[in-house]
Structures are given as structure tokens and as C-alpha cells.
């Protein structure tokens, strides 16, 4: 089924502008202190109405949020211990990560970036398999087709083109699949971003483009990338609806992304959701963030911490009691233990893998190099045996 924007407008009884353009303010349901916002701030503008997720969904999401924070902290420690080569932390962005995964059904695809490890884990991939790529293993760690999660993408924006291709194939085959294509604010400055959005809009594909605007493309602030009112406003230029949401408000993220995925599945075409959040830590462990931003700026965002906000909200409502909090903390620690055990174990490597997967049929030069390596390894083993 294909539903045009006009049909969506008629269904909701709103104007095209109300549907296509993002709300006047980022959708926020719970404020930084954990209090439920007044109705007019929750998303009640025409075309931007959102219902609160139910309590069970909120508690399950909070559990994944706490696990995500523990994963970020544990991985940062593993980098310092030399067990991972690099780690791009999503500390402070965990609400975006969790909501991105929970809004999808089993048949839906996720196309993540290098910073979206928590989202990949929340989608069901084993934590150690997720982190395999960051210890330097060549194969990426998990089977994308099993989990409907593409390999985490380091080149900016190339995954958006792949996501659109999968969505196009799904539509041609008549599959009931939605594709969530994730990127950061820096990616919106790339040509691939334009090509992906334009193709998705022209072919009316079931894609939700999810932009985590964490204010910096490595060291380049958003103000030096775009002067648009918001990144969500860019959507209308491609003929798709855009929405912006407080990226540290897990409640609002669940509501907005759930609706975006539902609309895409129902045939309304692609949508763009921009989440306003912040990268609390350096770009990676190799980055010195103090060279391009002030501590005072970071402090302002510390007060908007998504984990603290959600904890306060659930506690105030009587949903998060002491026993539940202890159980969630124990689950988070268990995941951290899995990461420690898995990444502290030495990986079994086969040196011949250097040659096995370059070409389907190895070239003469590769066969010669493989034979030289095999001979060298054999002589090395014989020398060690003779020395014992």
C-alpha cells in the first residue's frame, strides 16, 4: 500500500505544513528534572500529537538505558587497558540509542554508525560480538542478516545509501519492513545524505532517517555546518516530513520514533527525525575535546543527563522501586562482566586469513605469499620445538 502525504494530511485532518514541517519546539515530554511537561509541550500541535508510552514499555526502556550507560563506561575502561583499539562513546546519547532499537520490529532493519554500539546491543546482538570490530578483528563480529543490523559504519553517511537500497528491495518484494537509517549531524553535510534522502523520497520508501545531533562533527560545531532552523527542516526540501525531539528525553524519543516507524510501515513514505543531544565525552579515546569546547558547555548538558532524568521520572511515579532498581543494576553489571570476559580473552587468529578472503580465486602472487608465510611459520614452530 502506498499512502501519499495528502492522504496522511486528510487522515489527520491537518494542513500539509503541519504535517511536513517539524513542531515549533523539539518534542519534550519529561523535563530535565524528571517532571512530566504540561500538555502543550508534550506534542499536541496539529500533526505532532504524541501519546505517552505505557508503563511497561518505559520500564523496559529504562533497563536498557542503564545497561547502555554501563556499557559505555566499561568499554572506555577496556580501551585504557589495551583490550580495544578505539571506542567512540555514546555517553549522554544512550536514550537515542535505546529508542532507536526499541521502535523496530523483528523484521525491520537498522543501519548504525560507529557510535551506535548501544543501539546494536539493544537490538539483540551479543555485546562481545558488537565490540569485536573495535578490538581490530577484520570481520565485524556479528551476522547482519541474523539480527537485521548492518555492520557499524565508520565512513560518514555511506550507510544511508545502503539503507535506502535495502528499503527499495523490501518494497519491490512486498515485505513488511521498515529501515531505520542512523547518522549524526556531521553526516548531514555529506553528499550521500542528499542522495539517500532524495532517492527515498522519490521512490516513496519505508525509511526513517534518524539524525542524532550531538552538536559536533568531531571538532566542528553545528553552527559551522548548517544555518537551517533545524536539521529536521531539511526534510521538507525532499518532500518528506521532519520532526525534532529532545534526544535526552527517552519518553519523547519512544513516542516520536514509534510513530515515525508506524507511518513508514503504513506507506506514508520516508521521514526524518532529528534528536537534540550531546556527546559528553571525547569523539573517541584519540580525541582531545578540550581543544574545541569549554567545560562550561559540557556542564550545561550534564544537567540534562538522560539516565538521571528517566530515573527521577519513574521514581516519582512509583514505578521504579528499590528492588527493581537493584535488579536492573545487576543486569547491567552482568553485561559489563560479559564484555570484560570476552575482550580479555585472547582471540584465536589464523595468519592465513590474510590471503583467504582477498579474492574468490587467489592470484598467483597471493598463493606465493601464502606459501612463504606457511614455510616461515613451520620453521618457527620447529625451532621452538627443538629449543624445548
> Which sequence positions are flagged as catalytic?
279, 283, 292
**Pairwise CA distance, residues 191 & 197, whole Å:** 10
- Residues 84 and 131 sit within 8 Å (Cβ to Cβ): yes
The conformation of residue 14, written as its DSSP 8-state character, comes to -
Q: Tell me which residue of 274, 214, 268, 261 sits closest to 240, measured CA to CA.
A: 268
**Pairwise CA distance, residues 66 & 335, whole Å:** 11
**Pairwise CA distance, residues 260 & 123, whole Å:** 18
**Pairwise CA distance, residues 299 & 313, whole Å:** 21
**Pairwise CA distance, residues 334 & 320, whole Å:** 20
Strands 220-221 and 216-217: antiparallel
Phi, psi of 274 (to 5 degrees): -105, 125
Torsion of CA 370, 373, 374, 375, to 10 degrees: 120
Torsion of CA 362, 368, 374, 378, to 10 degrees: 160
Beta strands in the chain (DSSP E): 109-111, 179-184, 207-213, 216-217, 220-221, 241-246, 271-276
Amino acid at each position: 500500500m502506498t499512502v501519499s502525504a495528502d492522504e496522511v494530511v486528510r487522515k489527520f485532518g491537518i494542513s500539509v505544513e503541519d504535517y511536513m514541517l517539524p513542531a515549533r519546539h523539539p518534542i519534550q515530554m519529561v523535563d530535565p528534572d524528571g517532571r512530566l511537561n504540561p500538555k502543550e509541550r508534550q506534542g499536541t500541535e496539529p500533526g505532532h500529537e504524541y501519546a505517552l508510552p505505557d508503563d511497561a514499555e518505559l520500564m523496559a526502556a529504562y533497563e536498557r538505558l542503564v545497561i547502555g550507560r554501563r556499557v559505555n563506561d566499561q568499554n572506555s575502561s577496556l580501551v585504557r587497558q589495551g583490550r580495544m583499539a578505539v571506542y567512540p562513546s555514546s555517553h549522554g546519547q544512550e536514550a537515542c540509542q535505546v529508542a532507536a532499537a526499541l521502535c523496530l520490529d523483528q523484521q525491520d532493519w537498522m543501519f548504525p554508525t560507529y557510535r551506535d554500539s548501544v543501539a546494536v546491543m539493544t537490538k539483540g546482538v551479543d555485546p562481545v560480538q558488537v565490540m569485536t570490530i573495535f578490538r581490530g578483528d577484520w570481520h565485524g563480529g556479528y551476522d547482519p542478516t541474523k539480527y537485521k543490523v548492518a555492520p557499524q559504519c565508520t565512513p560518514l553517511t555511506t550507510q544511508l545509501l545502503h539503507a535506502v537500497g535495502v528499503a527499495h528491495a523490501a518494497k519491490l518484494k512486498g515485505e513488511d519492513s521498515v529501515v531505520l537509517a542512523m547518522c549524526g549531524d556531521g553526516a548531514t553535510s555529506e553528499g550521500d545524505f542528499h542522495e539517500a534522502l532524495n532517492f527515498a523520497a522519490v521512490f516513496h520508501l519505508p525509511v526513517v532517517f534518524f539524525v542524532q545531533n550531538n552538536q559536533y562533527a568531531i571538532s566542528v560545531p553545528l553552527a559551522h555546518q548548517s544555518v537551517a532552523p533545524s536539521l529536521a527542516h531539511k526534510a521538507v526540501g525532499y518532500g518528506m516530513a521532519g520532526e525534532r525531539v529532545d534526544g535526552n528525553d527517552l519518553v519523547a524519543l519512544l513516542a516520536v520514533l514509534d510513530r515515525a516507524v508506524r507511518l513508514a510501515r503504513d506507506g506514508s513514505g520516508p521521514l526524518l527525525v532529528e534528536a537534540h543531544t550531546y556527546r559528553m565525552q571525547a569523539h573517541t579515546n584519540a580525541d582531545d575535546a578540550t581543544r574545541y569546547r569549554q567545560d562550561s558547555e559540557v556542564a550545561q548538558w550534564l544537567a540534562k543527563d538522560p539516565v538521571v532524568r528517566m530515573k527521577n521520572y519513574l521514581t516519582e511515579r512509583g514505578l521504579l522501586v528499590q528492588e527493581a532498581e537493584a535488579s536492573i543494576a545487576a543486569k547491567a553489571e552482568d553485561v559489563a562482566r560479559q564484555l570484560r570476559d570476552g575482550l580479555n580473552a585472547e582471540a584465536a587468529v589464523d595468519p592465513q586469513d590474510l590471503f583467504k578472503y582477498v579474492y574468490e580465486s587467489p592470484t598467483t602472487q597471493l598463493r606465493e605469499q601464502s606459501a612463504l608465510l606457511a614455510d616461515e611459520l613451520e620453521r618457527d614452530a620447529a625451532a621452538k620445538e627443538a629449543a624445548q
